[in-house]
A = this chain, B = another copy of it.
Amino acid sequence: MFEKVLAAKKRITGHANITPVMTSRTLNHLAGAEVFFKCENFQRVGAFKFRGAFNSILQLSDEEKARGVITYSSGNHAQAVGLVGKLLNIRTIIVMPDNAPATKRAATEQYGAEIVEYNPDEAEREQLARDLQKKHGYTLIPPFDHPEVIAGQGTAALELLGETGKLDMLLVPCGGGGLLSGSAISARGMCPDCRVIGIEPEVADDATRSFHTKTLHRVKNPPTIADGTRTSSLGKLTFPLVLEYVHDMKTVSEEAIKEAVRFLFYRMKLVVEPSGALGLAALLSRSVAAPGRVGVILSGGNMDAAVMRLILGDN
Contacts and interface: CB of A to CB of B under 8 A. Distances in A.
A56 B248 CA distance: 50
A46 B268 CA distance: 8
A20 interface: yes
A280 B26 CA distance: 29
A24 to B, nearest CB: 10
A305 B301 contact: no
A308 interface: yes
A308 B41 CA distance: 19
Contacts of A301: 269
Contacts of A46: 269
Residue among A272, A308, A313 having the largest count of chain B Cβ atoms under 10 Å = A308
A170 interface: no
Nearest to A110: B26
A277 interface: no
Residue among A44, A46, A312 having the largest count of chain B Cβ atoms under 10 Å = A312
A236 interface: no
A264 to B, nearest CB: 8
A146 B238 CA distance: 60
A270 interface: yes
B269 A41 contact: yes
Contacts of A265: 271, 308
A312 B270 CA distance: 16
A271 B42 CA distance: 13
A134 interface: no
A220 interface: no
A42 B313 contact: no
A309 interface: yes
Contacts of A312: 305, 308-309
Contacts of A315: 305
Nearest to A310: B309
Nearest to A262: B305
Nearest to A315: B305
A35 to B, nearest CB: 15
20 contacts: A20-B20, A22-B42, A25-B44, A41-B269, A42-B268, A42-B269, A46-B269, A265-B271, A265-B308, A269-B270, A269-B271, A270-B270, A270-B271, A271-B271, A305-B313, A305-B315, A308-B312, A309-B309, A309-B312, A309-B313
Given A42-B268, A46-B269, 9 more contacts: A25-B44, A42-B269, A265-B271, A265-B308, A269-B271, A269-B301, A270-B271, A305-B312, A309-B313
